[in-house]
Each structure stands twice: as structure tokens, then as C-alpha cells.
A and B are shown apart, each in its own frame.
Chain A
């Protein structure tokens, strides 16, 4: 599902809740980092952690519902990949913060520059 980034809607709130819950777990963040870099099978992921295959499968399902990863059947394997559209939303927000802080830094520089002027004889 594509969620409109500019308007608030019940669909968007649900999507945000899912994204929040999905990223609130260290294992799931690790899975996202790995499958964003390259595809993994669910069993390949399960081999990386001390938890059961079923537990890893559950984590993948949570990430899939949050649109952070996609899952696709290939023969007997389930292949997990990063969903770049889902990650794009979080990245978009961090871009906003970059803009906020660039503006703040420039205002700080202005304040400090005024000092220099005042200190001149």
C-alpha cells in the first residue's frame, strides 16, 4: 500500500504504528540492515540468530506488514528483501531533520557573527 506522505489519514496512522513497532526491536533492525544490503532466505536469517526458525519467521512477518521488507517464494525457500519505499519514508523524515538543523546552525552562526561586530572597537 502506498501511503500519502503529506496528508494525515487513519491509513497513515496505522502504517506509522506498524513502522514504529517494527523498528522497536533490535533483531528486526538487524534483519532490515542485512536484507537492505542483499537478499536472504528466511532459513539463512534463522541461522544467524539463536532464536528458532519460527521466531525469525514472525519477525519477518512484522517487517513485511510494516512495508520494510518484501517476501517472495522461490522453490522451497522464502526470499526476504529490503523494501526501499518503506525505508524511504523514515529517510524522508531524517531529511527534514537535516534541514531543520542546517537552518539552526546557520542562525547560530549569525548570532555569533553579530557578537564579533559588537566586539569591534
Chain B
């Protein structure tokens, strides 16, 4: 099992996921450090992410967009606040408009990522704290839309199969 646990704190608007991977800490660090690897997992397959900027050091910025099936681009920005290679990074995560400018009123999510060795595997703990429920809704729309749509399409496909097949 990749995902070990998930903790959702409704009153504090925060979310924590713990996952374990079959690789050492240095290798898992690279999926954050290397924007080309980050692009392969940040967005869902139907809504892939492209990182135009990825300054992986404290105070550095990242700019990315996710491209939907109809070509729609959803833009976001990060600001790295802590980069302690190879096991601890923190960043602020917000929305951007079509010119890549931050949209402040939608609020900022703060993400904390920690990596630790567990035997020859790596445990990753990620905590996201949201400023508001509205922002949580926006982030969910941006990251989910497609994941949900895919899941629903899969269910539809199963339901469409003849019962005796």
C-alpha cells in the first residue's frame, strides 16, 4: 500500500497524508526537485501540469499551469519557504490569473513535506493547511475535476456493459 494514512481536520481546514514509497529518501526528494518529474505526477493524466518556473531554493518561486482536455489552462504559483535537502520542504501554494499573476483573494495553502527512511523505503508526510473553505473548494475544483470525471466515466462504462458479459 502506497498510502499509509490520511487525516482530515475539518475545524482546522487541514489535510495530512502519509505515504510510503519503494525508494530511498534521496530518490523521492527528486520527484519534488526535478520539475520534469513533478509534471508527471502533480496533475491527473487528463489535466497535466507544466512547470514554467521552478526555483527550488528557499525564497524561490514556481509557476505552473494545468491543461484541461479542452485546452483550458488553470494557473498556479508556489513560493518555497523552506528547502532542507533531502528530507524537508515547505511552500505556499496559490492561484494565478491567465498572465501568471497571483490571485490573492483566493487565499494561500501552506504545504509541509517531510521524508524519512523506513527500512529501505521512504515515508512521505504531507500537510496542507487551507485559509478558507472557499479556497479549499477552488483547489479541489482545480485538482479534481478530471479525477472525478474519470472515475464517473469509468463507473458509467461499467454500468453500460451488458449484465451477462
Contacts and interface: CB of A to CB of B under 8 A. Distances in A.
Interface of A: 16-17, 19-20, 23-24, 29, 32-33, 36, 87, 89-91, 93-113, 115-116
Interface of B: 2-3, 6, 8-13, 15, 17, 19, 21-23, 27-28, 31, 37, 40-42, 44, 124, 126, 128, 131-137, 139-140, 143-144, 147-148, 151
Contact of B147 (A29, A87, A100): A100
Contacts, number: 108
26 contacts: A16-B134, A23-B132, A24-B131, A29-B12, A90-B10, A93-B136, A94-B10, A94-B136, A96-B144, A98-B15, A98-B17, A99-B144, A99-B148, A101-B3, A101-B17, A103-B44, A103-B147, A105-B17, A107-B40, A107-B41, A109-B21, A111-B37, A111-B40, A111-B41, A112-B22, A115-B23
Given A20-B134, A94-B15, A109 B2 contact: yes
Contact of A105 (B19, B37, B131): B19
Given A87-B10, A94-B15, 8 more contacts: A16-B134, A19-B134, A90-B10, A96-B143, A97-B140, A99-B148, A108-B21, A109-B2
